[in-house]
A and B are shown apart, each in its own frame.
Chain A
């Protein structure tokens, strides 16, 4: 609720800014679409505010990334693209790129080199720069739990524990989508991390995953918005909740909630910028600024997502407000990363339609 008010305030500020901007000929208004909540707040502090200070531009935050691809398609079909820059997941960026909704990017000419001169194509995480996509962060889907929900000598720490309702009773909050849940069901059922997507490509594998989910189905509350799981955990409505790791970190560090993260079998992926067709000239300078080494490192002061540039990773320091060392909270931190699953975007681009339908039919039964 608080974040909603904040963003409304910002939007209003943006509208006011818009009329001011019209008066000052130089300044521009950028409509930037992102995920809202703690994530947009981290972008606001690390990228938007310094940029607005430098240039006098106004940045309007639009919390529509959850429906980013739908919005891009609708705007392109209507021939009236109002978004200037969109924060998006790589799988959707791939589809948008294939459909010609967003601009292809020449990373080495557009982006700044690292301070030591390393070109962007070598500085960003291997394979993360795709045709139309500039990654900002590595984030992770994890299971968090309320440590008050379990006795001190019996705290969960493995993915199997999440599927073990006898030893770890309580409701589970999971995202209402097949993504992550099917992967977790398989690893909890004993499939090795590296084989998950191979198994999921087979009919038996899909059945096995759903059978495993059946064992906890009656204990699950399904969430749809990223802000829900920390809330459900805090209210004591659930014992476990799948969530974006940054949101759990935010609740634990900023709000003092007794949340712990099960890093076992975290599903990690990237998140980054795409430019709607025709908007490149408008956002070029901002993009160059917002993706440089220092800006990406700065973002990690506000939220526990790993920067997508190696030169930034070295500069990750402490949390801006509490002084907590950020490194152990990053998805990419050694011990956290040991059993991580890399989300397979190509798999989900192919099987997402069918598995989503199957998942919905399974839910309705």
Chain B
């Protein structure tokens, strides 16, 4: 004790006798806690509204609880099955028990729906057997069950049940990229007549890239004009840019329908001035053109605003200096002005591109068959086919790809260089 006291330098203390260091740490800790409490509502909101749903989506895309939970006896009895012959009596006895109980508890329907995604006809096989299994009073169960439906004597039925008995599955991801398990459990391509998602992924990405490009080409001059005209006029121009921004998305989309459809304003005009005959009215909507036009218009402000805010900060005398040093206008623009706007281009492009990938209302309304995005299929699987696992898998893939794009972007341009204003 005394030795320790002797070995140390005299400790600075505050008025109440605490060491200065401790007191300082307390104060900063208090500050930190206060700061944390201030951001806590936002953090909580982000966790509840953003992080948890995404985690739930990721979980849904691989979880496969139906067979595992509601046919647990059958799954257990199937352990050690050779996968080649029809299972034996104990498996069938377990199956009957599972199906009868599941029928009474009304849980077997989810198993039936799940297995039907993998092989058409499984729904009625499970439901029919579940209803009739209650009437089987005693064994041998094998003969009785096969008597209900011969499909129970098909090895493929059992292979499917065994494969889907795992609480996690890759089936949804396979289905999302147009692949599947075959009867033997190998991963194979879907037959051509069932392929659909890959083409839509590719279309979504190239069309989003094209929309981003269009927005850049159209938005750059407008932003330049906004940043370089006197305030009086630029304010008015700004309102013209922002007005559509404040208008409902649906209104803007349906306006394009009124303009572009075959009996619409633009076609009427073209027929009116005699450019096309009334029988040859142009098909400008319900296809890729419709999606491109409407989405470019809707996303344009997201390109213009970051560009404008960056251009506004570029002092005009940079260009003057370049000109006075002998550069022609184009060279001065290319060597001096343009490089300074790259952070704005980066910010606008990544905003438009990511927003565009996630859009689904506009493609649904004006895209027809050829102009819809993969997002429309997420909606379809959520609302119509009700295959939420598949919807989650497609959405997860989309998320991964966007993250990948972001990382590549960060590598090439650098997120630090992005300026939103």
Question: A interface vs B, CB < 8 Å?
Answer: 67, 69-70, 73, 95, 97-100, 210, 222, 235, 237, 346, 349-351, 353-358, 360-364
**Chain B window 376-417, contacts with chain A (Cβ cutoff 8 Å), 1 for yes, 0 for no:** 010010111111100000000000000000000000000000
- Among A97, A98, A222, A360, find the residue whose CB has the most chain B CB atoms closer than 10 A: A98
A353 lies within 8 A of B194 (CB): no
Indicate whether A353 sits within 8 Å of B117 (C-beta atoms), given known contacts A67-B383, A100-B105.
Answer: yes
> Are B109 and A95 in touch, CB under 8 angstroms?
yes
Q: Tell me if A361 and B193 are in contact (CB < 8 A).
A: yes
- Assess whether B108 is interfacial by the CB under 8 Å rule: yes
Set of chain A residues within 8 Å of B383, measured between Cβ atoms: 67, 70
B-chain residues with CB within 8 Å of residue A354 when the two chains form the complex: 120, 194
6 further contact pairs, Cβ within 8 A, besides A98-B106, A99-B107: A70-B382, A95-B113, A349-B123, A350-B121, A350-B123, A364-B369
Scoring A97, A210, A357 by chain B CB atoms within 10 A of each residue's CB, the highest score goes to: A357
| CB proximity of B290 to chain A, nearest CB, Å | 14
Contact of A361 among B107, B116, B120, B195 (CB under 8 A): B195
| Residues in A neighbouring B110, C-beta threshold 8 A | 99
B193's partner among A351, A356, A358 (CB-CB below 8 A) is A358
Q: Is the CB of A363 within 8 A of B121?
A: no
Q: Is the CB of A99 within 8 A of B109?
A: yes
> Could you give 7 example pairs across A and B, Cβ below 8 Å?
A67-B383, A70-B383, A73-B388, A350-B120, A353-B120, A357-B196, A364-B199
When distances are taken between beta carbons in the complex, the residues of chain B under 8 Å from A346 are 124
Residues on the B chain within 8 Å of A351, using CB: 120-121
Residues of A within 8 A of B192 (CB): 361
Chain B 120-158 interface mask (CB, 8 Å, partner A; 1/0): 111110010000000000000000000000000000000
* A residues in contact with B117, CB < 8 Å: 353
- Please report the C-alpha to C-alpha distance between residue A148 and residue B124 in the assembled complex, in whole angstroms: 46
Give the residues in chain A near B77, CB-CB below 8 Å: none
Chain A residues lying within 8 Å of B342, measured Cβ to Cβ, are none
At the interface, yes or no: B200 with Cβ under 8 Å from chain A?
A: yes
- Chain B residue nearest to A222 in the complex (CB): B369
Residue of B nearest to A77 (CB): B388
On whether A357 and B194 interact (CB within 8 A), knowing A70-B383, A95-B109, A350-B116, the answer reads yes
CA A235 – CA B258 in complex, angstroms? 14
Give the Cβ gap from A62 to chain B, nearest Cβ, in Å: 15
Pick the residue among A98, A357, A358, A364 that contacts B127 (CB under 8 A): A98
- Whole-angstrom distance from the CB of B134 to the nearest CB of chain A? 14
Interface presence of B112 (CB below 8 A): yes
Determine the distance from Cα of A354 to Cα of B191 in the docked complex, in whole angstroms.
12
In the assembled complex, which residues on chain B have CB atoms less than 8 Å from the CB atom of A363?
Answer: 369
| Contact (Cβ within 8 A) B196 A364 | yes
Q: When the two chains form their complex, are residues B386 and A361 in contact, meaning their CB atoms are under 8 A apart?
A: no
Q: What residue of chain A has the Cβ atom nearest to residue B192's Cβ?
A: A361
A98 to B127, CA, bound (A): 8
Q: Please name all residues of chain A whose beta carbon is closer than 8 Å to the beta carbon of B108 when the two chains form the complex.
A: 98
- Binary CB contact string for chain B from 250 to 285 against chain A (1 if under 8 A, 0 otherwise): 000000000000010000000000000000000000
Sorted nearest first, the 8 A-B pairs with minimum C-beta distance are: A98-B109, A100-B106, A99-B109, A361-B196, A354-B120, A67-B383, A351-B120, A350-B124
Structural contact, B196 and A70, CB atoms closer than 8 A: no
Interface size on B, residues (CB 8 A): 35
- Chain B 23-54 interface 0/1 with A at a Cβ cutoff of 8 Å (1 = within): 00000000000000000000000000000000
Nearest CB of chain B from residue A278's CB, rounded to whole Å: 13
CA distance A100 to B369 in the complex (A): 36
Nearest Cβ distance between residue B241 and chain A, in whole angstroms?
Answer: 30
CB distance from A197 to the nearest CB of B (A): 13
In the bound complex, CA of A140 to CA of B420 (Å): 56
CB distance from B172 to the nearest CB of A (A): 13
Contacts of B387 in A (CB 8 A): 353
Q: How near does chain B come to A100, taking the closest CB pair, in angstroms?
A: 3
Shortest CB–CB separation between residue A317 and chain B, in angstroms?
38
Cβ distance A8 to chain B, nearest Cβ, rounded Å: 14
How far, in angstroms, from A97 to B112 measured CA to CA in the complex? 12
> In the complex, how many angstroms separate the beta carbon of B13 from the nearest chain A beta carbon?
58
B124 contacts A353, C-beta separation under 8 Å: no
- Chain A residue with minimal CB distance to B385? A356
A256 → chain B closest CB, angstroms: 21
Q: Mark B94-114, 1 if CB is under 8 A from A, else 0.
A: 000000000001111110110
Enumerate chain A residues within 8 angstroms of B388, measured Cβ to Cβ. 73
Residues from chain A with Cβ under 8 Å of B121 in the complex: 350-351
A23 to B340 alpha-carbon distance, docked (Å): 65
C-alpha spacing A353/B200, complex, angstroms: 19
By a CB distance below 8 angstroms, the chain A residues around B380 are 360
CB-based contact B369/A349 at 8 Å: no
The winner among B105, B263, B369 for most chain A CB atoms within 10 A is B369
Contacts of A222 in B (CB 8 A): 369
Q: How far, in Å, is B121 (CB) from chain A's closest CB?
A: 5
Q: Which residues of A contact B195 (CB under 8 A)?
A: 361
Tell me the bound Cα distance from A99 to B195 in angstroms: 29
**CA–CA, A360 and B121, complex, Å:** 20
Which residues of the other chain, B, contact A235 by a CB distance below 8 angstroms?
A: 263
**Chain A residues closer than 8 Å to B199, beta-carbon distance:** 364
Residues of chain A lying within 8 A (CB to CB) of residue B116: 349-350, 353
Shortest Cβ gap from A358 to chain B (Å): 6
With CB as the reference atom, state the residue of chain B lying closest to A221.
B286
Q: Which of A100, A237, A358, A360 contacts B107 (CB 8 A)?
A: A100
Task: State how many angstroms separate the Cβ of B177 from the closest Cβ of chain A.
Answer: 14
B109 and A97 contacting across the interface, CB-CB below 8 Å: yes
Instruction: Choose among A67, A210, A222, A350 the residue with the greatest number of B CB atoms under 10 Å from its CB.
Output: A350
Taking the closest CB of chain A, its distance from the CB of B190, in whole angstroms, is: 9
- Bound complex: CA of A100 vs CA of B66, how far in Å? 14
Set of chain B residues within 8 Å of A350, measured between Cβ atoms: 116, 120-124
With a CB–CB cut-off of 8 A, which chain A residues contact B112? Answer: 98
Taking CB atoms, residues of chain A closer than 8 Å to B127 are 98
Nearest chain A residue, comparing its CB with the CB of B377: A360
Give A360 to B377 CA distance when docked, in angstroms: 10
- Distance between Cα atoms of A99 and B127 in the complex (Å): 11
Q: Which residue of A lies closest to B387 (CB)?
A: A353
Q: How far is the CA of A248 from the CA of B363 in the complex (A)?
A: 29
Smallest CB-CB separation from B103: which chain A residue?
A98
Other-chain residue from A67, A70, A100 in contact with B109 (beta carbon distance below 8 A): A100
- Known A99-B109, A100-B109; judge A70-B386 contact (CB<8 A): yes
